[in-house]
A and B are shown apart, each in its own frame.
Chain A
Amino acid sequence: MNIVVCLKQVPGTTEVKIDPQTNTLIRQGIENIINPFDAYAIEEGVRLKEKDGGRVAVITMGPSQAEAALREAVSLGADEAILLSDRAFAGADTRATAYTLSRAVAKLEKCDLIICGRQTIDGDTGQVGPELAEMLDIPFVAYVSQIEEIRDGYLRLRRMVEEGHEVIETTLPAVITVAKEINVPRLPSLRGIMKSKSAVIPTWGIQELGVDESSVGLSGSSTQVIKVFFPQRVHQAEMLEGPLEKQVDTLIDRLKSAGLC
């Protein structure tokens, strides 16, 4: 089984601060980590490989320092790692990200299963997995909590729904996103860390992927971040007084003028 795991390097904190001048994240002094949900994806890929054989490749799109996340994935058992990095990739939204990842998956030789975390802890959209499946035109299952059976061209798994789970069968190749219920990620091993330090990690840019600059990064994005800010919570309360009927009339007038009824 050839497995590809997509991961993202994210700030290792939930207390992200925003610079009020530039409206960007303050990244200074914040350690970067593998997106926690992606750690479950790596673990599941490595477990499948250990059980049935095959290879696990990890890919990430990001700046050069994202290579550290890939090395960590190698220390956890991934066989191969590829960094998708190019100035043209900067500013990508989920669509442009998924497109870039899809080109990388297409460039990798045979691929049976693509595993992603259910969402990132920074963007929180949960869109890249399904978009990737759409672009590759293969089946997609979200919130996977257990892989029940996997063999050539066939996959049966459980996905979490609000009250319980669904059992789904699908053909392969497919894209799945995993929930934290699926496993307990291992710690790296010393031999894994030593192997990861000497691992050769190629960087693929627009040339290697053979993509057009206009279809990736900011120019390939359908959405743009105009501003990042903390929403101001405004509380305005007005107490209506007088006889009850008059209060009701006033309330209806107010709702009408606010366009709410």
Chain B
Amino acid sequence: MDYFLDEQQKTIKDLARRIAEERILPVRAELDEKEEFPWDIVKDLADADMFRVFVPEEYEGLGGGCLELCLVVEELSRVCSGVAVTYAASALGCMTLMEYGTDEQKRKFLPDIASGKKLTAFAITEPTAGSDAGNIKTTAEKVEGGYLLNGTKQFITNGGEAEIYTVIALTDKTRGARGASAIIVEKDTPGFTFGKKEKKLGIRTSATRELVFKNCLVPEGNLLGKPGLGFIQAMRLFDRSRPGIGSQAVGLAQGALEAATDYARERVQFDQPIISMPVVQHMLADMAIQVEAARALVYAAAKYVDSGARNVTEESAMAKVFASDAAMKVTMDAVQICGGSGYMRDYPVEKMMRDAKILQIYEGTNQILRNAIAVNLRKRKARTA
């Protein structure tokens, strides 16, 4: 399908694909096996200006939007979803800064993020606050000279590797979620350490780690926007970042579809390539339909975000839910088509199937997002009633 991307979008997509095929493909199995953070690839992405894509031009970026980010994530994920999330998480970690930061704050942090010199991470999840994201306990007490952070963040993508962290913490713990604020914490700030590195089912090259704050003093100037708005900022952030997870799913599913198609053309049983068998053909056709439908919805949602629409909760949730469910189904079917070989680590599809599961879980479980979509349906009905 032709989505009529403009010249710059095509350039971004083509170069991302080239990096994925030339630099990531040869090492993806090793990165997965060893659970090593892909620093060499991060450098390649930085040298190719990929971290500039989502940063405004006045801060040394290329001024791309949600769609441009999605194109890069999709192409990286087609080859390795673990690398894709590492890249995408660095966009997530600076989106609150880009939306609510002052010019001074942006000038301080964004150029190094755009050049790829510094990775970022976003931290809201805690042991008590997953889907119930408002139930965070980490505090940021206002003291002389700044904010004093105490608490633990859990499952933070790019944790330990990123230099710049956007942390949601309670500046007023009496007010619960309404007392939350977004604060930038730099690595190596005294009192900021890292807990255990998680061992995961999939996306194993990406780093997932605990952040531990013990009397960590952060300058007052690191607060993003107004105090007390942190929870709302985070929810608004996810509304704008979810098409990115959708694109990660689209790329992953595309990769699985291609791998399964290649295998079905080569694998001969009963004297014929199995792609000649109607049962396999229909499975592949269903996979292709899912991938293309997911891509169309993700691109549409990304463009809607880029249009500046005020409320994109429903659309971005739909894109994330549909695409991630599709990726789970498509990768499972890819393993099925590849049969015994597909189950083996010598073939790429078992990794793709492991990588797919997280997409239904992070940045809002698909159940929580269905709730959000349903709430909007009810509201709309109530308004018209």
Are B19 and A190 neighbours in the complex by a CB distance under 8 Å? no
Q: How large is the interface on B (under 10, 10 to 19, 20 to 34, 35 or more residues)?
A: 10 to 19
Closest residue on chain B to residue A187 by CB atoms: B48
Known: A193-B11, A194-B8, A194-B11. A187 touches B49 (CB 8 A): no
Contact of B52 among A186, A191, A193, A197 (CB under 8 A): A191
CA distance A192 to B19 in the complex (A): 15
Which of chain B's residues have a CB closer than 8 A to the CB of A187?
A: 15, 18-19, 22-23, 44, 47-48
Q: Give the A-binding residues of B (Cβ under 8 A).
A: 7-8, 11-12, 15, 18-19, 22-23, 44, 47-50, 52-53, 62
CA distance A58 to B274 in the complex (A): 50
Which of chain A's residues have a CB closer than 8 A to the CB of B18?
A: 187
- Interface residue tally for chain A (C-beta within 8 Å): 10
**Closest Cβ of chain B: how far from A105's Cβ, in Å?**
30
Which of chain B's residues have a CB closer than 8 A to the CB of A194?
A: 8, 11
CA distance A186 to B18 in the complex (A): 12
Which of chain A's residues have a CB closer than 8 A to the CB of B49?
A: 189-192
**Closest Cβ of chain A: how far from B284's Cβ, in Å?**
27
Closest residue on chain A to residue B18 by CB atoms: A187
- A selection of 17 A-B contacts at a CB cut-off of 8 Å is A187-B18, A187-B22, A187-B23, A188-B15, A188-B48, A189-B47, A189-B48, A190-B11, A190-B12, A190-B48, A190-B49, A190-B50, A190-B52, A191-B52, A192-B49, A193-B11, A193-B15
Closest residue on chain B to residue A192 by CB atoms: B49
CA distance A232 to B44 in the complex (A): 47
**Closest Cβ of chain B: how far from A148's Cβ, in Å?**
25
Which of chain A's residues have a CB closer than 8 A to the CB of B44?
A: 187
Are A190 and B47 neighbours in the complex by a CB distance under 8 Å? no
Which of chain A's residues have a CB closer than 8 A to the CB of B62?
A: 190-191
**Closest Cβ of chain B: how far from A75's Cβ, in Å?**
9
CA distance A149 to B257 in the complex (A): 51
Give me 20 other A-B pairs in contact (C-beta within 8 A), A187-B47, A188-B15, A191-B62 excluded.
Answer: A186-B47, A187-B15, A187-B18, A187-B19, A187-B22, A187-B44, A187-B48, A188-B48, A189-B49, A190-B11, A190-B12, A190-B48, A190-B49, A190-B52, A190-B53, A190-B62, A191-B49, A193-B11, A193-B15, A194-B8
Q: Give the B-binding residues of A (Cβ under 8 A).
A: 186-194, 197
CA distance A189 to B53 in the complex (A): 11
Closest residue on chain A to residue B45 by CB atoms: A187
Closest residue on chain A to residue B12 by CB atoms: A190
Interface centre among B7, B49, B52, B62 (most CB of A within 10 A): B49
Which of chain A's residues have a CB closer than 8 A to the CB of B22?
A: 187
Which of chain B's residues have a CB closer than 8 A to the CB of A191?
A: 49, 52, 62
**Closest Cβ of chain A: how far from B117's Cβ, in Å?**
14
Interface centre among A187, A190, A193 (most CB of B within 10 A): A190
**Closest Cβ of chain A: how far from B374's Cβ, in Å?**
40
Closest residue on chain A to residue B7 by CB atoms: A197
CA distance A195 to B250 in the complex (A): 31
CA distance A194 to B48 in the complex (A): 12
Which of chain A's residues have a CB closer than 8 A to the CB of B19?
A: 187
**Closest Cβ of chain A: how far from B22's Cβ, in Å?**
7
Which of chain B's residues have a CB closer than 8 A to the CB of A197?
A: 7
CA distance A197 to B15 in the complex (A): 14
CA distance A86 to B47 in the complex (A): 37
Which of chain B's residues have a CB closer than 8 A to the CB of A193?
A: 11, 15
